[in-house]
Structure 1
Amino acid sequence: MRFLFIADPLESFKPKKDSTLAMMVAAQKAGHEIYYAWSESLVSNDAIVTAQVVKISVDKSATTWFTKHHESRESLCNFDAVLMRQDPPFSSEYLANTLLLSQAARLGAKVFNAPNALRDHSEKIAILEFPELIAPTTITRDLALIREFHQLHQDIIIKPLDGMGGMGVFRVGMDGVNLGSIVETLGNNGTRALMVQKYIPEIKDGDNRILIIDGEPIPYLLARIPQDGDIRGNLAAGGKGVARPLNDNEISIAKKIGGKLASRGLFLIGIDMIGSYLTEINVTSPTCFVEIFDQTGYDVASTFIGALEKRILES
């Protein structure tokens, strides 16, 4: 099979821990041809959506982990699977790419995750579909409403809707110090909506990433544990990743969410949980494949490629 990975520049990958590279390695090991396209190379000529693609081979142990073989412009319909792995944030350019991918899908391209599902599921707002699983939450631009929420819950988290890797996450305690300044800065003086949640003390035990492939949870999660007094467990913010098996409650929640979202075209998702609370549903380019493999030996990437092969053959 021919797999096309649409992603950020290859030179920006971090080979030791990149989940997209892990997918490429697993696909190559399974005998598939690997192609790469920079996310900005998508073009529509009349109705046909093409990309500037390069066939590559990969070797994580080499000084330069990828080798380019030949380059051409091809229709996305020429590939057995198109894997959209462009990193967030979900900008206007990301939106434009999903619209082009939707056109390609109408012509027969098999895109994972489905571009319409990417548009419909904001990684932070998507949790509102499961209100029984979330901590007290409000989304607003209104400072007065945020002050009311703070008075009710005393200890809160404020974050932008388009952040990633823990960017722009603030905790405001009982004294409310800097609440107004934080909201004005993050919300650009009331022009951007913010997510405000009750602080969950279990964050000290980790912000738990659970990967779900075609509706089925991977049996190990990665607890991302805050370090050095930080409130953020995100690995990009210095959190420590510790893999452990899912408990029964986590399995039940993952199956409930995974089954529903897989039916909408979200083949790979990563849900984040703090304690028993759902905090985020990652759909753009979920990570943590490598950390789980390194600590448990469970090959998430090979599991992903196997499930992808099955889905392609059944479609």
Structure 2
Amino acid sequence: MKIHLGIIMDPISLINIKKDSTFAMLLTAQERNYIIYYMESKDIFLKKNKIYGKTKYLTVINNQKKWFSFSNKKITLLSTLNVILVRKDPPVNIEFIYLTYLLDKLKKENVLIINNPTSLRNYNEKLLATNFPEIIPKTLMSKKISEIKKFLHKYKDIIIKPLDAMGGKSIFRIKYNDENKQVILETMTNNGKKFCLSQEYVSDIKHGDKRILIIDNYIVPFCLTRIPQEGENRANLAVGGIGIVNKLSSQDYMIANQVLPFLKKKEIIFVGLDVIGNKLIEVNITSPTGICQIEHFSNISITKKLFFFIENKIVDQN
């Protein structure tokens, strides 16, 4: 059976193929002889109650100078595809929300969509972890500066971050005696008009922030541990963190297994958990990364595991 795969992503011309998880997926899909239909969110539209895309056939090449080519540009009725991978990076803004409404309609037409568009819309990555209060740091979501100050007063050392960013953008550590705390809170909340997430600082960050990947029921036994540079509170690779691949600990498995039933129920297939010490920090479901680094230092093909799942699911649906 020839599988027709749609990919919705940010411009492929801008990616770094050495560490881009979407590119790793595309290479494996091509190896498995999938027909790949490239789209950006702007290419998708509804007409006469059908969902279409301005698509191009995509060919990928593992070459840093020229890593893709397009052919056969056309309008495609997206219900004719077998599967669509949604790999649009945050922010999850109103345009992203509108996209999930269109994808919801496709899901009802028996197109496999990863991840479930209803869940992409309903579950903010920063807030999803609050469904597991026993394994997260003490947490406050508020736009009121006075409430955040009370939270800071109680826990003395906190992290504050926006709800709609990625890659460590606009994440601040504030200690109780920080002379800049007022201006940080004013900036982060837009003077009390914007929600932010505050969490008790987890000192284990010095040992790294673990990215644990899950595909359906499968917990990848290796994780990408991102260690912050000296003097930096953020471990994200995008801001200079150092990535090391480690085997999962028993504690890591405990955390992953606690989250797994929720993910299964909500049809969230490909997930990246962020764990610091024994605390779950975030549940990444929009476009989790870490595949390239883990595959490079282990003998596991995460992308093949993903496509085995996809192929079995398509057979079950048909």
> Would you say same fold, with TM above 0.5?
yes
The corresponding residue for 1:112 is 114
Identify if the C-alpha distance between structure 1 residues 107 and 307 changes in structure 2 by more than 3 Å, giving closer, same or farther.
closer
Separation (CA, whole Å) in 1 of partners of 2:112 and 2:15: 24
Separation (CA, whole Å) in 2 of partners of 1:14 and 1:31: 23
Q: TM-score, normalised by structure 2?
A: 0.96
The corresponding residue for 2:296 is 294
> Greater CA deviation, 59-68 or 179-188?
59-68
Cα shift readout 1:73-124 (whole Å, capped 9, x = no counterpart): 1111111101111111101111111111112222332211110011111100
Structure 2 residue 177 is the aligned partner of structure 1 residue 175: yes
The corresponding residue for 1:210 is 212
The corresponding residue for 2:158 is 156
Q: CA deviation at 1:40?
A: 1.1
Identify if the C-alpha distance between structure 1 residues 62 and 141 changes in structure 2 by more than 3 Å, giving closer, same or farther.
closer
> Greater CA deviation, 26-35 or 233-242?
26-35
Native 8 Å contact 2:157 2:201 kept in 1: yes
Q: CA deviation at 1:174?
A: 3.4
Native 8 Å contact 1:216 1:254 kept in 2: no
Q: CA deviation at 1:164?
A: 0.6
Q: How many residues align?
A: 315
Cα shift readout 1:206-259 (whole Å, capped 9, x = no counterpart): 111101101321111101110131100011111111110111121122122123
> Greater CA deviation, 174-183 or 212-221?
174-183
Native 8 Å contact 2:144 2:189 kept in 1: no
Cα shift readout 1:268-292 (whole Å, capped 9, x = no counterpart): 1111010000000101000010011
The corresponding residue for 1:50 is 52
Counterparts of 1:1-315 in structure 2 under 5 Å?
Answer: 1-61=3-63, 63-315=65-317
Identify if the C-alpha distance between structure 1 residues 70 and 62 changes in structure 2 by more than 3 Å, giving closer, same or farther.
farther
Native 8 Å contact 1:18 1:287 kept in 2: yes
Native 8 Å contact 1:77 1:110 kept in 2: no
Cα shift readout 1:9-43 (whole Å, capped 9, x = no counterpart): 11111111110010010111122222211111110
Native 8 Å contact 1:215 1:261 kept in 2: no
Tell me which amino acid in the other structure corresponds to 1:180.
Answer: Q
Q: Secondary structure, in 3 states, of the residue corresponding to 1:124?
A: helix
Q: CA deviation at 1:62?
A: 5.9
Tell me which amino acid in the other structure corresponds to 1:234.
Answer: N
Native 8 Å contact 2:51 2:102 kept in 1: yes
Identify if the C-alpha distance between structure 1 residues 144 and 252 changes in structure 2 by more than 3 Å, giving closer, same or farther.
same
Native 8 Å contact 1:47 1:103 kept in 2: no
Separation (CA, whole Å) in 1 of partners of 2:314 and 2:216: 12
Q: CA deviation at 1:299?
A: 1.7
Q: Which portions of structure 1, spanning 4 or more consecutive aligned residues, are displaced by more than 6 angstroms? A: none
Q: Percent identity?
A: 34
What residue ranges of structure 2 are gaps of 5+ in the alignment?
Answer: none
Cα shift readout 1:35-74 (whole Å, capped 9, x = no counterpart): 2111111100021011111111111136311121211111
Q: CA deviation at 1:298?
A: 2.2
Native 8 Å contact 1:143 1:183 kept in 2: yes
Q: CA deviation at 1:305?
A: 1.4
Q: TM-score, normalised by structure 1?
A: 0.97
Separation (CA, whole Å) in 2 of partners of 1:245 and 1:309: 28
Q: CA deviation at 1:146?
A: 0.9
Q: Secondary structure, in 3 states, of the residue corresponding to 2:59?
A: strand
What residue ranges of structure 1 are gaps of 5+ in the alignment?
Answer: none
Native 8 Å contact 2:17 2:64 kept in 1: no
Separation (CA, whole Å) in 1 of partners of 2:287 and 2:185: 28
